[in-house]
Amino acid sequence: MKLSEINIRDPFVLVDHGTYYLYGTRGPTCWGEADGFDVYVSRDMENWEGPLVCFQNDGTFWADRNYWAPEVHVWRGKYYMFASFKAESVCRGTAILKSDSPEGPFKPHSEGCITPPEWECLDGTFYVSKAGKPYMVFCHEWVQAGDGEVCSVELNDDLSAPVGEVRILFHASDAPWCQVKHHSSGVSGCVTDGPFLWRTAEDKLECLWASFSETGYTEGVAVSDNGDIDGHFYQAEPLFMNDGGHGMVFRANSGQLYLTLHTPNTHLEEHPVFYPLEEKDGLLVNAPLPGWHPALVEELTQMASRLTSLLQPWHGTTFQVTPEECGYQGGLATQAIQRAIDLASEKNGTVYLANGDYVSGTLELKSGVRLMISENARLLASADLENYPEHHARRLTVQDTSMGMHQSLIYAEGCRNIALCGKGEINGQGTPDHFPGQETAQGTPGRPFVIRIIDCEDVYISGLTMRNSPCWMQSYLNCDRVLIENLTVLNHANYNNDGIDLDGCRDVIVRHCVIHSGDDACCFKGASQRPLERVLVENCELFSACNALKVGTDTQGDFRKILVRHCTIGGLQYDPSGLKHPYSDSGISLEMLDGGTLEDVVISDITMLRAWSPVFMRLENRGRVKPGDPVPSIGKMHRIVIEHLKGEDCGPRGSYMIAVPEQPIRDISVRDVQIMQNVSTKPVIREQDIGELRGIYPDAHMIDDLGDAPAYALWARHVHDLSLSNYTVIPQGDDPRPEYVLSTDVTCI
Q: Name the average pLDDT for the chain.
A: 95
Looking from the CA of 93 toward its CB, the CA atoms found within 13 Å total: 18
- Answer yes or no: is pLDDT of 40 > 90: yes
Q: What average pLDDT does range 14-25 have in this prediction? A: 96
CA 357 to the chain's CA centroid: 41
What does the alpha-carbon distance between residue 474 and residue 502 come to, in Å, rounded to a whole number?
A: 9
Query: Which residues touch 401 (CB under 8 Å, ≥6 apart)?
Result: 626, 627
Beta bridge partners of 75: 78
What count of other Cβ atoms lies within 10 Å of the Cβ of residue 734?
A: 6
pLDDT at 459: 98
Summarize pLDDT for 71-111 with one digit per residue, the tens.
999 999 999 999 999 999 999 999 999 999 999 999 999 99
Cβ proximity of 637 and 658 under 8 Å: no
- Answer yes or no: is pLDDT of 403 > 80: no
- Answer yes or no: is pLDDT of 187 > 90: no
* 60-64 long-range contacts, CB within 8 A, separation 24+: 61/108, 62/87, 62/90, 62/112, 63/87, 63/90, 63/95, 64/33, 64/34, 64/35, 64/88
The one-character DSSP state at 374 is: -
pLDDT at 44: 87
What confidence tier does 602 reach under pLDDT thresholds 50, 70, 90? very high
What count of other Cβ atoms lies within 10 Å of the Cβ of residue 214?
A: 9
Look at 291-300, 587-596, 650-659 and tell me which has the smallest mean pLDDT. Answer: 291-300
Beta strands in 593-689 (DSSP E): 597-609, 611-619, 636-650, 655-658, 665-677
Summarize pLDDT for 429-482 with one digit per residue, the tens.
999 999 998 888 778 889 999 999 999 999 999 999 999 999 999 999 999 999
Q: What average pLDDT does range 580-592 have in this prediction? A: 94
Cβ proximity of 465 and 499 under 8 Å: no
Summarize pLDDT for 330-343 with one digit per residue, the tens.
999 999 999 999 99
pLDDT at 23: 98
3 state SS of 147:
strand
pLDDT at 600: 98
Domain with CATH 2.115.10.20 in the chain: 71-286
Assigned superfamily of 317-367+369-497: Single-stranded right-handed beta-helix, Pectin lyase-like (2.160.20.10)
Q: What average pLDDT does range 574-579 have in this prediction? A: 84
The H or E element that residue 334 is part of is helix 334-346
Domain 71-286 CATH class label:
mainly beta
Put the strands of the sheet holding 36-42 in their side by side order.
8-16, 19-26, 36-42, 49-56
3 state SS of 485:
strand
Amino acid residing at 287: A
pLDDT at 680: 96
Summarize pLDDT for 196-240 with one digit per residue, the tens.
999 998 999 999 999 999 989 999 999 999 999 999 999 999 999
- Answer yes or no: is pLDDT of 594 > 90: yes
H helices present in 269-333, as ranges: 292-310
pLDDT at 151: 98
Residue 445 phi/psi, 5-degree rounding, is -60, 140
Put the strands of the sheet holding 121-128 in their side by side order.
121-128, 134-140, 149-155, 162-171
Summary count for the chain: helices (H), strands (E):
4, 54
Summarize pLDDT for 711-749 with one digit per residue, the tens.
999 999 999 999 998 899 999 999 999 999 999 899 987
Among residues 558, 636, 567, 562, the alpha carbon closest in space to that of 600 is found at: 562
Domain with CATH 2.160.20.10 in the chain: 317-367+369-497
Q: What average pLDDT does range 49-63 have in this prediction? A: 97
Query: Which residues touch 256 (CB under 8 Å, ≥6 apart)?
Result: 276, 294, 297, 298
Q: What average pLDDT does range 540-559 have in this prediction? A: 97
Share of the chain above pLDDT 90, in %: 88
pLDDT at 82: 98
What confidence tier does 650 reach under pLDDT thresholds 50, 70, 90? very high
What does the alpha-carbon distance between residue 210 and residue 223 come to, in Å, rounded to a whole number?
A: 14
Residue 423 phi/psi, 5-degree rounding, is -105, 10
pLDDT at 387: 97
pLDDT at 469: 97
